[in-house]
Structure 1
Amino acid sequence: MMKQYNTRAILSSLLICGFIGMFSETALNIAMTNLMDVFQISAAMAQWLTTGFLLTLGILMPMSGLLLQMFTTRQLFIGSLISLIVGTLIAALAFNFEMLMFARVLQALGMGMLLPLMFNTILVIFPPEKRGAAMGFVGLVIMFAPATGPTIGGLLIEYFTWHYIFWFSLPFLVIGLLIGLKYLENVTDVTKPRIDLLSVILSTIGFGGVVFGFSKAGEGSEGWGSTVVVTSIVVGLISLVLFILRQNVMRDPMMNLRVFKHPMYVVGLLMVLSCMLIIMSSMIILPMFLQTGAGLSVFTAGLMLLPGSALNGILSPRMGSLFDKYGPKWLVIPGFVIVSVMLWFFTTLSPASSVAFIVALHIGLMVGIGMVWMPAQTNGLNQLPPELYPHGTAVMNTLQQVVGAIGTAVAISILSGGMEKYLHGSSAPTLKTEIANAMTAGSQNVFLFTMIIALISVVMALFIRRVVVNRETIKSIH
């Protein structure tokens, strides 16, 4: 007999907090150009506000399985919310870049605990037949919150200052905390697993080193050949190799890497990662192009990105039912073809491109991504035996954060390189129109890079096949 919980109140609390956490992550993207002026920092420096967030998540995600076993549901929830609220308050009061950066790390620590907790709690408090609907709401929040971020963020910057992105978020987090304190119960058993300190250290240096190296390479002052970049990437990769070897000899690994023995899981994972790379690259470059290249206001730029992202969120549950009916192949292959075509059109963007054209391309891109992401992820996880299910999710979540940070860094690096090359050959490099042209040239290079990734993914999609989950496996998962 399943224990009765106030599922509606618990779900509301988790969704409100999750929504605001995801919202503030992308709302700041639209403020990048503004922050570069206010704090007198370069694009590469400003990019750390996104990279630092993803880096913190990337370090915390591999430990999420451990944290869920070490602490009660309420302890983790209260800890994550305090971190989010304090981080948001510091960001709202921030008067320099360092203070804002510290606030972002605190926010990321909160989100790093909240996201795995949200998925785990829903699996426990909802019976199997209602779980899909609850997960559908989570999917909608995860897609829709980042979509509204740039629009609301743009509106707040237009009429107030960027600080109000965080003042706007604060009351919602407090409401979410109060609902959770009243209704959220401890839904999991605390098993106090043995912590393998070496695994924790290796995973932190490994994932942290790789992301830090790529981010440094994205900065104008440091090239890909600089000592700092090469050292941190090499040290990171060596640590990851040692981490993998360590996990393979442990009886209870921190992250069970046997998930990679399942071919459809690997194909699904690679597709999700290529989607993450494409989304993170375009999400950071497009607002910059719209403001500096096309000369549009922050609010207009945010508004232009809303239809595509919102449609992606709304279609997420629909793609799930189409996947159940037809399997992954008929969604994933056309999805990547659409993404490739849209990115090819994006490489032709210029300051003269019409608003309607850019909005239509963005809608096409997000619909294509929506056709790939959920079916590829579900199909991949379906192939895993029940005992590897949490590990498969942990590996996917961790690598998404790392690839997201790498994608952001590579995109900024390509953008800066393209702009420098254009301005170097320009007779009037300080002229506003020339800077807009340079931004266009740099952005086109980034879209060309993401188009190549999408075309490789089309070839990969040809190898996907439907995984049939037998009823016994489903029962044992639940």
Structure 2
Amino acid sequence: MTARADTRPDPAAPPRAGLLIAVLVGSAFVMILNETILSVALRDLTVDLAVPATTAQWLTSGFLLTMAVVIPITGYLLDRFTPRAVFLTSLSLFSAGTLLAALAPGFGVLLAGRVVQAAGTAVMVPLLMTTIMRLVPSERRGATMGTITIVIAVAPALGPTIGGAVLAGLGWRWMFGLVFPLAVIALIIGARYLRLSSTTRRVPLDVVSVLLSAVGFGGLLYGLSAIGESGGEHPVPPWAAVVAGLVALGIFVARQLHLQRSDVALLDLRVFTRRPFSVAVATSVPLFMCLIGASAILLPLYLQTVLGVSTFASGLAVLPGGLVLGLLGRPVGALFDRVGARPLVLPGAVMTAGALWLFATLGTGSPLAAVIGIHVLLMAGLGLMMTPLMTEGLGSLPDHLYSHGSAVLSTLQQVAGALGTAVFVTVAALGSAAGAPAPDASGLRTAFVVAGVVGLVALVAATFVRSRRREPEPVAG
């Protein structure tokens, strides 16, 4: 039997721990930004690359699909390889994909660059979470984990705004050309300073689990994303992909439960034996459904189709909320270190549900200032929830399950975002007038009502968050 990876927080953290975390956060921000930065460029890409809009959409869908396939494997990767090796591989892949995309002569090469980018991106957030859990003592972990809020929530929110500005002045290739030197700088700094003491273990890679994970999470995310698209033909019917994904996931779960008895599971599901982690997941799923589906999808649709706001102006309209979400990260994390999760998560859930129901009252004559104000309220509520939930959930785990817990959280966040998009966009389309080219005010109001119900589900789940933090207990093998 080989030794477990020693992932306990090091009381004598490296003197450059702050620099290491800053490099990881900066790298992850740039990488996650690329999830949504192309969303405003799809129309230009259809012209420049001579492809239909449904084909160009794969530049975003392919990125998300690759993320969904790779993230579940990160638990194994972080057990098997050192943080330094994982970081260098991640940044090298991302840099190579970025350069390939910037120089792409046609759609096929550009799509390949996006897939390579996503393969590197998928590993970074779990690596960041696990590194913070290792380097930072529990009494200061909340404030540090708050920085991850900037990466997970703000970067995707800023993507369309930054993309629109770059597209207006320079063209779509510069979306990659400006990012490439930043990625290379992060790679050089990481290669120089990212040296953490760690003990790896030679875990065999279960290829069957990898394939089941790819079919399960990839099929589910593809199907949900396809359902959420406004139209177009798909090589695989969305419902068939969802069914295949669910079946594969069922088999995947059964296999992991069997493999974890001998401590060789690809994704160790013993993380769910810890009640705080399970509660954090149950609350985070509706939270991310609303963050992606309602805030990033429904709200821009409302601004553009109902209020007639331009694409760039709609990106600016959601910018204040995105900034509020990012600015709350560290202060909320510091409060978590003092008072625990419940006093923060419960008010945040009330604010989130309230904002979603306020969105349902908007109509064709609503002032833009009111929309911005409600969005700020929504982002403030989400900001009170995200950092405490992640820190509470991961902090409840034994040290050897940190990497698997972060992989589970990251995977379910991707799936929840796709699920929220699929549900809300479908409801908006069904609630709109027959023959409408895009969801109208009535359809969007109905979708916001459904989002409000999802917000109430998050509120109910939040009532199970514990009042005080406790040290993690051993998990039975």
Distance change in 2, residues 1:221/1:162 (3 Å): closer
2:426 corresponding residue in structure 1: 413
Distance change in 2, residues 1:79/1:283 (3 Å): same
Distance in structure 2 (CA, Å) of the matches to 1:71 and 1:15: 20
Distance in structure 2 (CA, Å) of the matches to 1:301 and 1:295: 9
| Secondary structure of 1:25 counterpart | coil
After superposition, the CA RMSD in angstroms is 3.2
1:162-204 per-residue CA deviation (whole Å, 9 max, x = no partner) reads 3322222122111111212222225433322111222222222
Distance in structure 2 (CA, Å) of the matches to 1:204 and 1:50: 18
2:433 corresponding residue in structure 1: 422
Task: Return the letter of the residue paired with 1:64.
Answer: T
Matched, 1:88 2:98: yes
Distance in structure 2 (CA, Å) of the matches to 1:173 and 1:297: 31
Structure with the bigger percentage of helix: 1
**Contact kept in structure 1, 2:146 and 2:387, CA below 8 Å:** no
1:333-386 per-residue CA deviation (whole Å, 9 max, x = no partner) reads 332222222222222334543221111111011011112222233333344444
1:391 corresponding residue in structure 2: 404
Distance change in 2, residues 1:269/1:109 (3 Å): same
| Secondary structure of 1:29 counterpart | coil
- Percentage identity across aligned positions? 38
1:275 corresponding residue in structure 2: 287
Matched, 1:459 2:460: yes
Matched, 1:330 2:323: no
Distance change in 2, residues 1:163/1:412 (3 Å): farther
Distance change in 2, residues 1:439/1:89 (3 Å): farther
2:256 corresponding residue in structure 1: 247
Distance change in 2, residues 1:365/1:96 (3 Å): farther
Distance change in 2, residues 1:474/1:12 (3 Å): farther
- Give, in angstroms, the shift of residue 145 of structure 1: 2.9
Distance in structure 2 (CA, Å) of the matches to 1:345 and 1:386: 42
**Contact kept in structure 2, 1:332 and 1:461, CA below 8 Å:** yes
Task: Return the letter of the residue paired with 2:300.
Answer: P
Distance in structure 2 (CA, Å) of the matches to 1:441 and 1:262: 43
Matched residues, number: 460
- Give, in angstroms, the shift of residue 37 of structure 1: 6.8
Distance in structure 2 (CA, Å) of the matches to 1:129 and 1:121: 16
Distance in structure 1 (CA, Å) of the matches to 2:394 and 2:307: 42
Distance change in 2, residues 1:445/1:51 (3 Å): farther
Structure 2: give runs of 5+ residues left out of the alignment: 1-10
**TM-score, normalising length: structure 1:** 0.85
Counterpart selection for 1:373 from 378, 382, 386:
386
Task: Return the letter of the residue paired with 1:310.
Answer: L
| Secondary structure of 1:27 counterpart | coil
Matched, 1:159 2:169: yes
Distance in structure 2 (CA, Å) of the matches to 1:65 and 1:361: 38
1:449 corresponding residue in structure 2: 450
Alignment of 1:25-424 (within 5 A): 25-32=35-42, 48-94=58-104, 97-125=107-135, 133-185=143-195, 187-219=197-229, 220-221=231-232, 228-250=237-259, 251-252=262-263, 253-281=265-293, 282-418=295-431, 421-424=432-435
Distance in structure 2 (CA, Å) of the matches to 1:414 and 1:274: 16
| Secondary structure of 1:79 counterpart | helix
Distance in structure 2 (CA, Å) of the matches to 1:267 and 1:124: 22
Task: Return the letter of the residue paired with 1:267.
Answer: V
Distance change in 2, residues 1:389/1:229 (3 Å): same
Task: Return the letter of the residue paired with 2:350.
Answer: V
Distance in structure 1 (CA, Å) of the matches to 2:47 and 2:447: 23
| Secondary structure of 2:36 counterpart | helix
Distance in structure 2 (CA, Å) of the matches to 1:198 and 1:229: 24
Distance in structure 2 (CA, Å) of the matches to 1:331 and 1:190: 36
| Secondary structure of 2:34 counterpart | helix
1:418-462 per-residue CA deviation (whole Å, 9 max, x = no partner) reads 4xx5252xxxx6xxxxx57x4434433332221121122223333
